[in-house]
Amino acid sequence: MKSKSSQLLIPLVALSLSSCTQKKEEVRRPNIIFMMTDDHTTQAMSCYGGNLIQTPNMDRIANEGVRFDNCYVVNAISGPSRACILTGKFSHENGFTDNASVFNGDQQTFPKLLQKAGYQTAIVGKWHLISEPQGFDYWSILSGQHEQGDYYSPDFWEMGDYIREEGYATDIITEKAINFLENRDKSKPFCMMYHQKAPHRNWMPAPRHLGIFNDTVFPEPANLFDDYEGRGQAARQQDMSIEHTLTEDWDLKLLTRAEMLKDTTNRLYEVYKRMPLAVQDKWDSVYAKRIAEYRKGDLTGKALISWKYQQYMRDYLSTLLAVDENIGQLMRYLEDIGELDNTIIVYTSDQGFFLGEHGWFDKRFMYEECQRMPLIIRYPKGIAAGSTSSAITMNVDFAPTFLDYAEAEIPEDIQGSSLKPILENAGKTPKDWRKAAYYHYYEYPAEHNVKRHYGIRTKDHKLIRFYNDIEEWELYDMKADPREMNNVFGKPEYAQVQKEMIELLRQTQQQYKDFDPDEKEKELFKGDRRLLEERK
């Protein structure tokens, strides 16, 4: 027969177990909002110490969360970067090596895995992977302009239908994001990919920001007039210079309304005609001074390069203002519905970008300004505010991180690593963390004429091999030469470092199964020399 005390124990234990069960049920898996822009670089973020522009809403994410100082893209071009993020795998594994590729949507991606784990998933904005999105309960992606979309009155491919939306792309994408959140299945956690077109070329600001920096003179980078001394063909043969590559019509916007109406085949006109008449009038007024300055004809040499740089900066940076404003709007909405602190907010870009460094714009090269990408994350339930991390991270790490926080299994074939151990430890780097970021760029011959290359970036050094139609190596001492102006490959005093970096490169390639590209091409096209030559 049970004692009185044991009889009392039974309901107490049951009550305790019931309480534990309730507490467990109350622990909700976090929502995820993955914010990504196109071609935004850390030099243009005040939370990274940039002096070009203030980005208060991005700063809020960093100040209330963590800022990663050494996050690197593994292939600095739009489509391939996005494919690497979706799959957690390098380009040679996911098959999307350059923008001429088509993404195989049947393969494993983190949105599909999150769906299986009970998340409601969505993507709004830029996709740029050609094929129809898979793994999303809702999708509305930009179409047209080679999948880039337009800034004004953009076309969207939405759940199989093509529609045109009136307004400015950055604002519309936010409206669509909030609409998804309003109408989601509120019984499930959500993961939304909120992907802006801005500040992609040709840098067209919102109507409210047109001309906002017309009287601002931005500081020039120290190597704006780089002469590439000590470097090889790759740096000299590129076609992405402010001096030679920026076009008068598309990039610098040096056409009057009358000139555009006369030449309706001009691609700037194709975008201009999407604007309401009132916006066209403001556009004409804003760019009239620029056109007049240029047509005086008294700008030459370095003075002309400096002038072009200022126009580039005025357009690029004013395009970013709407991005930051809309981040603030989305965060205020999350706060209003009580989901802000239960949502992991990630902000990044598909890669960095040159803002005049080396005399360039665009990306593609393994140099720091475009290989390094912004990464800031806010999640007060698991990330200490004001944290910073120097861990070497890559964009293939995003997928396993999302899966980790969603309590979903991370497949063994994912090549990235979850950042959760870093995030939960105030940004500190685990002892067994990787020593190098790997990079491989494939898109040559193509626009901007950047040679194929691969390499590794460690804490202190960077090793690059250009291959295919040239054979060049570059080694940089990133502590002594952070602007990458002095190639020390082959210099006796760096012989030991060079040997160690080459060995680490080979080990890294073996780890990620990216074997020597020359041998891969020979194997791929063996028996057909003609195809191999065409490939080159």
Q: Where does 438-535 sit in CATH, by number?
A: 3.30.1120.10
Confidence check: pLDDT of 181 > 90: yes
Backbone phi, psi, residue 70, to 5°: -135, 55
For residues 79-93, give the mean pLDDT: 98
Alpha helices in 296-339 (DSSP H): 301-336
- pLDDT category of residue 24 using cuts at 50, 70 and 90: very low
Question: What local confidence, expressed as pLDDT, does residue 520 receive?
Answer: 55
Using CA of residue 203, residue 444, residue 146, residue 134, what is the dihedral sign? negative
Q: Tell me: the pLDDT tens digits for 125-164?
A: 999 999 999 999 999 999 987 778 999 999 999 999 999 9
Q: Is 199 exposed, middle or buried (0-12, 13-18, 19+ CB in 10 A)?
A: buried
CATH top-level class of 28-205+318-431: alpha beta
For residues 290-297, give the mean pLDDT: 96
Q: How, if at all, do strands 461-466 and 453-457 pair?
A: antiparallel
The residue that leads in pLDDT, 33 or 523, is 33
Query: What is the SS3 assignment for 453?
Result: strand
Question: What local confidence, expressed as pLDDT, does residue 533 receive?
Answer: 52
Reference 410, options 398, 400, 419, 397; nearest CA is: 400
For residues 44-52, give the mean pLDDT: 97
* Angle in degrees, CA 522, 528, 534, rounded to 5: 80
402, two tokens: 């999302």
Angle between helices 301-336 and 56-63 (to 10 degrees): 60
CA distances from 371 to 40, 358, 439, 535 (A): 12, 14, 8, 25
424: alpha, beta or left, given left = phi > 0 and alpha = psi -120 to 50? alpha
The amino acid sitting at 168 is Y
d(CA 129, CA 115): 20
- pLDDT category of residue 87 using cuts at 50, 70 and 90: very high
Model pTM? 0.92
Q: Where are the domains of the chain?
A: 28-205+318-431, 213-309, 438-535
Question: What local confidence, expressed as pLDDT, does residue 27 receive?
Answer: 67
Query: What is the SS3 assignment for 142?
Result: strand
Q: Report the chain's terminal Cα–Cα distance, integer Å.
A: 88
Contact status, residue 248 vs residue 263, Cβ threshold 8 Å = no
